[in-house]
Structure 1
Amino acid sequence: MTAPAAPEPGAPVLVAGAYSVDLVFRELAGPVAFGSEVWAGGMGMVPGGAFTLAMGLRRLRREVVWAADFGSDVFSQEVLAVARVEGLDERGFRHHAQPVRNVTVALSGPQDRAMIAYEDPVAVRPLAELIATYRPAVLMLPYLQYGPEVSNALDVAAEHGCHVFMDCQDYPGHLDMPDVAKALSQVQVFAPNEAEALRITGADSAAEALEILADLVPVAVVKRGGKGAIAAEAGRRVARAAPVVRVVDTTGAGDCFNVGFLHQRLAGGSLEECLAAGVACGAAAVTGPGSSAALDSAGLRAWLARLPA
Structure 2
Amino acid sequence: MDHQNTAPPSLAIIGDVAVDLVLGPVDGWPAIGTETIMRRSELRAGGSGGNTALAMRHLGAPCRLLSQVGADTFGGWLAGEFSGVDAQLGVAQAATTVSTGVIHTCGERTFFTTKGHLEEQSWAQIRPLVGAAPAPGSIALLTGAFLLPKMREAYGQVIGDLADLGYQIAIDTGWPPEGWTPAIRAATLGWLSRCDHILLNEIEVTGLAEADDLDTALRRLTPLLRPEAVLVAKTGAKGAVAHYGGARFAAAAPQVEVFDTIGAGDSFNAGYLAARLSGLGIQDALAGGCRAASAIINHFPRRAIAPGQLADLVAPAHAGRN
User: Which among 11, 14, 18 is matched to residue 12 of structure 2?
Assistant: 14
* Cα deviations by residue, 1:207-238 (Å, 9 ceiling, x for unpaired): 22222232233111111111111111111111
Determine helix, strand or coil for the equivalent of 2:130: helix
1:99-138 equivalent positions in 2, closer than 5 A:
99-109=94-104, 111-121=107-117, 123-126=120-123, 130=127, 133-136=130-133, 137-138=138-139
In structure 2, give the amino acid aligned to 1:52: N
1:185-222, Cα deviation, whole Å (9 max, x unpaired): 01111111112222111111122222223223311111
The equivalent of 1:65 in structure 2 is 64
Q: 1:112-157 deviations in whole A, cap 9, x for unaligned?
A: 3221111324632417962883223211111346966211221222
Matches within 5 A, 1:212-291: 212-217=220-225, 218-289=229-300, 291=302
**Which amino acid letter does the alignment assign opposite residue 24 of structure 1?**
V
Distance in 2, matches of 1:200 and 1:293, equals 36
One of 11, 14, 25 as aligned partner of 1:27: 25
- Give, in whole Å, the separation in 2 of the partners of 1:238 and 1:153: 29
Aligned-partner Cα distance in 2 for 1:195–1:33: 31
Distance 1:191 1:32, change over 3 A: farther
Structure 1: 5+ residue runs without aligned partners?
1-6
Alpha-carbon offset, residue 94 of structure 1 = 1.4
- 2:320 maps to none
Q: Quote the residue 1:185 is aligned against.
A: 193
The superposition leaves residues 72-110 of structure 1 with CA deviations (integer Å, 9 ceiling, x where unpaired) of 4232122222212xx1224x22135x5531111111245
What is the one-letter code of the residue matched to 2:81? V
How high is the TM-score relative to the length of structure 2?
A: 0.80
Distance 1:231 1:33 in 2: 44
Which range moved further: 38-47 or 238-247?
38-47
Deviates more, 1:118-127 or 1:210-219: 118-127
TM-score, normalising length: structure 1? 0.83
Cα pair 1:219 1:232 within 8 Å, conserved: yes
Is 1:161 matched up with 2:159? no
CA 1:167–1:100 in structure 2 vs 1: closer, same or farther (change >3 Å)? Answer: same
Identity, in percent, stands at 24
**Counterpart contact for 2:10–2:277, Cα < 8 Å:** no
CA contact (8 A) 2:60 2:311 kept: no
Secondary structure at 1:21's aligned position in 2? strand
Matched residues in 2 for 1:202 and 1:17: separation? 26
Count of residues in correspondence between the two structures: 296
* Residue 246 of structure 1: how far off its partner (Å): 1.0
Gaps of 5+ in 2: 318-322
**Cα separation, partners in 2 of 1:199 and 1:279, compared to 1, 3 Å:** same
Structure 1 vs Structure 2 CA RMSD: 3.1
> Structure 2 CA distance, aligned partners of 1:295 and 1:204?
41
User: For the Cα contact (< 8 Å) 2:288–2:316, is it kept in 1?
Assistant: no
**Structure 1 residues 278 and 187: CA distance shift in structure 2, 3 A:** same
Cα 1:195–1:23 change in 2 (3 A) is: same
1:260-302 deviation line (CA, Å, top 9, x unaligned): 0000011111111010011011111221347547686552535
Cα pair distance change 1:35/1:198, threshold 3 Å: farther
